[in-house]
A and B are shown apart, each in its own frame.
Chain A
């Protein structure tokens, strides 16, 4: 179990991670999602005690990362971003070295290394020098380094970057399998990956948590409208009149003319309303033949972009307000100063007058 409580990381004046809190339960696969520079890697570096947080606490299976660093580190297998490896070592040497660093008992070491090599599909290349391996294999070696020693918690920082589609699928299924035995945090900016692998998603933006939810819920929450793609044969050009016959349709627009007599349309309705049934009833009556009807899945991508954009808008509007306030207060200050000046001048003038009057009086005396 990983417990992150009110964690903040500051570099000078720059706040990389701003007061985030979340928990990851045992045996859960959680995705850490966010655009570049959102604070994903920083968060992971803090969980693995590579760097220390400025504020807040992190506990790994009950061990505080600052007070009980060694115990906390023992719980974790970490695959850093950009797969750092020792290129001069062979695969087996590297994994063995990682096992030694993780204090795996000597008696179990060999067995454990072979297990991990098998699990990551590296048995055949175990005696090759890492320098000569392809990117995909290097990634697996890095993964093997994280897995060795059977850590309860796995932290994988962008494990699929730079892989070809087949390798991505392999790594993904590997992560899924790992989720059965380990607690896993995966970071990525590829959303489809997260939605396939993770049970929960934490979306970060500009160092703040934007949302924590299941992928399905996130999609649901951010879906505003239902989109259908409809391919029809419409000899009498009646498609445009359909909209008036089905109330729930908000918009019908042509996407493309297939030039074989069929045309593709995009039908938009409100999120809660499904017009597919209505379409099947109405269109044949109009003499329109349906060739294809498919629902456009609202993707996690949409959810992500929307969440990120809305937070950015909020932050911007906040900033603008603050700027306005600042300006207003500045203006007020200026006015005050001017008033004060004016008052002073008045006072001076009054004093002068008084003096003159006094002089006059004195002269009269």
Chain B
């Protein structure tokens, strides 16, 4: 048998490779851990809604923004839950998924087999990043949709007064909630890139996860220090809570755009760092 006929059976035509992304998502969402993380996030609006329902009278002036509005309009559960989830819960779950991207494959020994499949290293990083982004979407929309559902179940639902003082109907309000979810997803994209980079540094996923979460916490702490104000516009978390503009009428897109530019910067920098590290790394695990 000649070598020519042997080699022609493979390595002839190359597909685009969307199937690998599909496979990545299916692996991500077939993990019990992914569902546990989403369930933990879903618990936030449930807890808020139930707590408000059981407590007597609106707790004016205390607690997260809009909490006092929940009992009058259930649509606010989604917004309040999102505000509660942003500082710690969302970065925590995203940190777990993003930190696991490469290090997790290394620790199960699947990284070397993926690379030999073969998957080029740049493509592997891109697909892993895309998977983490899809998780961010799932996470924010879990909080938003469970919040909306719980609000509708336990409280009256009606037209919402925007921060500009006008009133928008329920459909428009749902669109605004979806916009908030998209905004928060966008806010997390930079953190995903940080997590991806951390994940290329180690074969121990827990280390990369912790480092990613710590990065988001440090960024928020620095954001609280007035002495370091000059650095604030550059912080990963600078626009995290800046979605109030989406609750005005008409919608003001300034913070959305500024956030997008900032997150894109983080994606470029940490994406490049991750590629620089991973493309030359000896895969020994």
Whether A associates with B in a native complex is no
